[in-house]
Structure 1
Amino acid sequence: MRTGNSQSAPEHVTATPSSVNLVLTVTVNGQILYISSNCKDVLGYTKEMLIGTSIKNIIHKDDRFMLESYFFNKQQQSACALRVLKTNNDIIWFETIVEPIFDTTSFEYEEILLKMNVLVDPTNDCMLEENSPNTLLSSLFPDKSFPITRLVDAPNLIDEAPFPIIIAKLGQIVYLNREAASLLEIQQPNEVIGNSIYQFIDEEFHEVVSKRIEQLQSGFRLGIIEQKWLKQNNEKIYLEVKEVPIYIHDEIYEYIVLHDISSRKSFHDIIHRSRERYQRIIQNSIDTIAVIYQNNWVFINDSGVKMFGANSYTEMLGKNIYTFLHPDNHDQVREFIGIVNSEKKEVNFSKQSWYTFQGKQIYTELIGIPTTYFGEAAVQVIIRDISDRIKAEELMIKSEKLSIAGQLAAGIAHEIRNPLTAIKGFLQLFNDEIQGKQNYFDIIFSELSRIELILSELLLLAKPSEIKFKNKDIRIILRDVVTLLETQAILQNIQINIDFVNQDSIITCDENQIKQVFINLIKNAIDAMENGGTIIIRTRVTNDSIYILFIDEGCGIPMSILDRIGEPFYTTKEKGTGLGLMVSYNIIENHNGEITVDSKEHEGTTFKIKLPRINDTV
């Protein structure tokens, strides 16, 4: 007997032939509508004690959430282990299969069927209390010398029973009542006495029936099972079969009660097909479909499991939604759920941000639909991942900024460059004539040179030079750039380390432009490391891409401005123009690549460039 201190079913506990079946039907809010009559034997409750009460009252408190989840999940059909409380508060473990029955038009549950098998520890010699040979009909045959032929003399006991009954010995029919003969359309019941019961059972179930007879002969009670039988005219019929052992002449016979479920089976098949179709729609949806109850995920489809990077459905089950949601969206989502629950209508929520199990940020839009979960208000949500769309919009905005900056650059360059040339020329004339003011002229010429530098970068942005693409090994280009800047780095106590893969790293590029990008990124890294340190330049390759990483140990970029990196005229450096990275982004984009940046303040920054790889030699 399990105690109430058990927290989980032992791994070795399995259903054995001694399992006693309980069958329950409950409403969507857990109210018990029906429970099989053997509940008294198994749990100690009478049917009257349980019908109309909540099933939660007899389920261990730690297992109620599991049961509720299985009630709601239309896909979940595997058995779950549950602890059920007896009248004396002892615990019995049950293997439980939940089969919801719901309306074919609305797909809302009408009733829920629970099939529960007692789990028995096969290492325990003490089986169920009621595993002794069944004496269900002992009141009918108090005298064990009662001859089997006299069964026909007890019409009020068995033959007039309102349900089909067959009594057999090792599968050989020794008696059947009128209802059984009528059900199987047997014209002359006496003619089948002594025949094998297998002639009325579909061949598909012969092996199952044989094993059940062996169990009955060992004195075990057996649960209800669905079987396919044959009428005398070979017409197929679906039956629920309940079998118990009885003693007659100190020998065990099989007492078999039949219940025709053909109509119900046909209806259930329709329901099952409808349910499967509905489940396929849910599970195959590219959008996440989930149910939120008391701020927890209680159902989520496969797309949702994948979107959040979970390993399985159970990893999401029961988790609080706000552990995934960006803090900035908490209040908005609470309001969203409140509106859905209070106004009982579909509500749209345009944009929110979530975090996956891996910490990746994703953007979604929500549709909330009121629903019920175990009879209580809940929210069904359709979540569409719009991260790619958001990224595309941001790229479009950035492209617009580049375009505008290019137009501005063209105008500025033409309007300023010519006057600037004239000013510089006259200042050079004055410099030769005026003595003693050399320091002022040096400052003026320095600032004019800076203006020319800005104009040059603007002109490059506005009117890029002709691109000449050739196949080049990216490692050779990087080594050339490192050689160029290594001396400057050493002067600032900075070491440049390279970590190149030993694989062909060929790209199609304009070498000068790619060098310009690399020089810009390395110089930025040097400027960010005022106290010295190490810059790592690393390459990695895949079948179709080459990745170049520039990793520094500088001051890092604050998260609040990280998204603005690459915008025109936006810089974190005191004397920066904000155009160097913008030009670099533009060059990489023209090479069908992309630049991403990851930075932590006071720890350093990593720029990652992705370029198409050419499977060729230089």
Structure 2
Amino acid sequence: MEKEKVFQQLFSMSFTPMLVMNMDGDIQILNEACCHLFKTTEERLLSCNVFEEPKRFFIEKHEVEPLRKQEEEVVLLKKKVDQQFPMHIHIQRTEGDIPLLVVQWKEFSSSIEKQEEVIRKMKQYKQFVQQSQDAFIVTREGRIQYLNPAGVKLLGGEKKEEYIGRPWLHFIHPEHLEIVKERMVQLMNGMSVRPRVDVKLLTKKGVVIIESSATKIKFEGQDAIQYIIRDVTDRKKYDEMASKSEKLTMVSKLAAGVAHEIRNPMTAIKGFIQLLKASKQYNEEYNDIMLEELNRVESIIQEFLTLAKPKIENSYHPKSLNQIIRHVTLLLDTHANYKNCRIINEISDEITIFCEENALKQVFINLIQNALESMSKGTVKVTVEKRNEYGMVIIEDEGCGIDEQSLARLGEPFYSTKQTGTGLGLMISYRIIEQHQGHISFASKVGVGTKVEIALPYIKEPVNIS
């Protein structure tokens, strides 16, 4: 009752002309400013019907039809003959057992063309939001203030009234609750956040995965957050199925490749055994060839097992990336000298990384050996530096280079630019770097050389290196 008295006082004291009417246009109450606008008494206005006198009130019955459906408010722009500037008519529907319409008239000191453009854009945006397949949800102080039909559908409801005023966090999966809370605080404090995040939502239909963007806006004059949400549950399922299919395809390719690579040396071994059996004599040359082919089979099996070996987290320790590179280049110096090549190091920053040292050494040995084998003579330059949040190892050679078509296929199983290569070495290198949350990139020009960049996240805080 106290709230009703306050509302009535504010209503009657307002300088903005206002009246309340029912859905049929019959006026229920009005304020003094309204009487002043229409230059008549309260008694005479109360006996009027707004829709029956459109020239007086500037409102046509068909203009408020949207309020009988889903719309909450309508904005009209009209101009009287004796007025220079337009009149802005704001009509809002109240909630309750018997819906009523609150009408306000406001004059503006700007051209009608400008006002019409503003209203046109407002209507276009509202229409876009209402018809959008993406959910639009507005929250203020953590509670839902508005949601469009797509938002109602996303949450599994039938009417938006089911959700207005409810805490937004009640619909967030516990797995992502802290992330959403943090984003809400950051947005309201004016901080920048990631444009889009994937979040699990609890709805009447069950758990759905959404892609969401959030923006700080003004809603009814107060700070609020607008979420634009898309249901990506089906897309995620499809991506997962596609990933599994891709893995199965990769396994079949690997199996076929291993069979092919092993079959060639096994055919040779079988042929020489048959020759030895036929001659019934010991042949040193045949033995050497068979041992060489068996070593090749063993090498292929070893590389395949390395590729299949899972990552062991407890084998990771803080290590100096600079020291790892020094050890590797020192190890390969003799091989470089033998090929009339040299390796030079350029190490500018001390970088500590969390890694499995032997696995990384295997990667760097493989890449530097590839660089050396691409040259008859020349220099391999190995640079270690910091770049943003990564420790970078850059390996540059002066070799024959790789064409674009071959460059795109690097890392595929059993694809190699070397005549005797299996392609597994580079594939293993990719896997090891990915396990270290890093990445490898290649750039090359035929006749000039190749540049390999390995990025590994480094430890920013000082630690004891084991």
TM superposition score category, shorter chain reference: 0.3 to 0.5
What TM-score do you get using the length of structure 1 for normalisation? 0.34
Between structure 1 and structure 2, the one with the greater Rg is 1
